Amino acid sequence: SFCLSTAKAASETQIHTHMCYCEFEDCMEAIDRMDTDVNSIENARSDNATLRAFAKIGYTKDLGPGTYDIHSPVVPSVAFIESKLKSFL
């Protein structure tokens, strides 16, 4: 259904999607087949396991990994955010 909903988009239109809180490894091939340019993912609670799952299948599209859970009452420090961002590189 995702591909149907984006099929009419012009080729120069960048398609973004957001996915959170699932067992990504259970559906990586389906995610890879989606016609997205950028996939924003929940990564904060997984200790980068989500990023590793995408790397494992050789995912070549852009990813926007989460740095912290915005639903948490804990506000992370600047040092924590900087460390998390560096771990993505």
| Contact between residue 41 and residue 64 where contact means Cβ atoms under 8 Å apart | yes
Catalytic residue flag (residue 16): no
- Give me the residues paired with residue 38 across strands: 16, 62
DSSP at 24: G
Sign of torsion over alpha carbons 36, 37, 43, 46: positive
Write down the catalytic residue from 7, 11, 58, 71: 71
Contact 6, 39 (CB under 8 A): no
Residues serving a catalytic function are 71
